[in-house]
Amino acid sequence: MRQLILASLLGATAMPALAEEVNVYSHRQPELIQPLFDAFTKETGITVNTAFVDKGMVERLQAEGDRSPADLVLTVDVARLGEVKDAGVTQAVEDEMLDVIPADLRDKDNQWFALTTRARIVYAHNERVADGDVTTYEDLADPKWKGRICTRSFTNDYNVALTAAFLAHHGEEETLTWLQGIKDNLAKRPEGGDRDQVKSIWAGECDISLGNTYYMGAMLKDDEQKEWADSVRIVFPTFEDGGTHVNVSGVAMTKSAPNRDAALKLMEFLVSDEAQKIYAETNNEFPVKEGVEKSELVASWGEFTADDLALSEISDLRPKALDLIEQVNLDG
């Protein structure tokens, strides 16, 4: 009894401290982010628990409400980041250490932050497409590409974001014309993913396709797909009045965040030099923090100037962009 009274009087100093932890809901495959979390735990002693949520993340967070165990959301594409913000399941984060992320790569209300970027580029056949044949996104609507373009569905998040960026640069009428031009130039109906389009180029079904840069890294690591990758090269197109379209992987803090302090430490770690290098190399993406070197493979793809259009603006224009894609019935 005396021991119990003493422990009570001493409070927390007499009891073992509870281990800190962070709970993360992730759209990214566990193997792509585990090296980051292992490094964070080694440095801080904070455990990271990850739940891979491929679909229905917003619905899950809404259903859980204030009882949600999730502290952070890790996801890809500005569309998904915009969705969690619009659903009201995130909170603003004000932190000086996150200011290293460029303003155009974070939400204007500080509800989400980019961690890496990827470019939406053109995969071009090494022999059937000459250097300089395609230099801009506008070129994709040129009749010279009739029957020569492959793409995944244009209602996919990646292509909707690209269309939203085109809309921001050119307005509704020109965007409709551009989308119709791409549809007229398709070699076949849109289907599959970005890597499937490269396979189609290798098979001679088309000559160019749209894709994200990191898929090149993924294909080169696959014994079967390496042959597809070796048949093409990466071209960094630009908008006529801008740069190369980029999208992001990013993080947001949930509204409930039961372990807010530990979650903030993880967010700060994710923009450290160490984490930026690990994340970019593991996923074949570009660091968002200035001064962090790209991986040797990513650097070998060449230099480009990223479009300076704010991702928040692209996110806001996504509904209209999707409407225009459906008007043209590009996937039909």
Q: What total of structural domains would you count in the chain?
A: 2
Closest CA to 115 of 1, 265, 272: 272
What single-letter amino acid sits at 126? N
| R_g over Cα of the chain | 22
**Pair (187, 129) in one structural domain:** yes
Looking at the fold, whether 224 and 310 belong to one and the same domain comes out as yes
**95 backbone dihedrals φ, ψ, rounded to 5°:** -155, 125
Report d(CA 197, CA 192) in Å as an integer: 7
Q: Does the pTM exceed 0.85?
A: yes
Same domain, 235 and 170: yes
pLDDT value at 15 more than 70: no
- For the residues 176-204, what does the mean pLDDT come to? 98
Distance CA 50, CA 52 (A): 6
User: Is position 232 within any domain?
Assistant: yes
Is residue 178 a part of any domain in this protein? yes
* pLDDT greater at residue 13 or residue 100: 100
Domain of residue 177 covers 119-245+306-328
The span from the CA of 70 to the CA of 247, in Å, is 24
pLDDT at 5: 35
Q: Which residues contact 300 (CB under 8 A, 6 or more apart)?
A: none
List the CATH number of the domain containing 112. 3.40.190.10
Least confident of 26-30, 78-82, 156-160, 220-224: 26-30
CA distances from 48 to 27, 70, 186, 287, 323 (A): 15, 11, 45, 22, 39
Confidence of residue 43 (pLDDT cuts 50, 70, 90): very high
CA angle 25, 27, 33 (to 5 degrees): 80
CB 301 within 8 A of CB 65: no
Run of H or E residues at 158: helix 157-170
Query: Do 194 and 61 sit in the same domain of this protein?
Result: no
What sign does the dihedral 146-147-152-153 (CA atoms) show?
Answer: positive
Does 112 share its domain with 123?
A: no
Cα–Cα distance for residue pair 244/121, rounded to 1 Å: 8
Above pLDDT 90, what percent of the chain? 86
pLDDT digits (tens, 9 = 90+) for 250-280: 999 999 999 999 999 999 999 999 999 998 8
Residue 35 corresponds to which tokens in the numbers above? 């090296």
63-114: pLDDT as tens digits: 999 999 999 999 988 988 999 999 999 999 999 999 999 999 999 999 999 9
Within this chain, do residues 324 and 224 fall inside the same structural domain, yes or no?
A: yes
* 104 shares its domain with 201: no
Residue 18: per-residue pLDDT: 56
What pLDDT score was predicted for residue 285?
93
User: Are 238 and 276 contained in the same domain?
Assistant: no
What pLDDT, in 10s, does the model give residues 109-142? Answer: 999 999 999 999 999 999 999 999 999 999 999 9
> Has residue 34 been placed in a domain?
yes
Is residue 5 one of the residues assigned to a domain?
no
Q: Is residue 204 part of a domain?
A: yes
Q: Are residues 31 and 75 in the same domain?
A: yes
Residues 169 and 313 in one domain: yes
Average of per-residue pLDDT values in the chain: 92
**Beta carbons of 20 and 259 less than 8 angstroms apart:** yes
Overall size of the chain counted in residues: 332
Q: Is the pLDDT of residue 61 over 50?
A: yes
Of 164, 137, 155, nearest in space to 78 by CA:
164
27 found inside a domain: yes
pLDDT at 7 over 60: no
Considering the domain architecture, whether residues 311 and 178 belong to the same structural domain is answered as yes
With respect to residue 198, please indicate whether it lies within any of the assigned structural domains.
yes
pLDDT over 60 at 295, yes or no: yes
CA–CA–CA angle 275, 314, 114 (5° rounding):
10
Answer yes or no: is 7 within a domain.
no
Q: Same domain, yes or no, for 239 and 261?
A: no
Count CA atoms closer than 13 A to 197's CA, side-chain side: 28
| Average pLDDT of the residues in 20-30 | 91
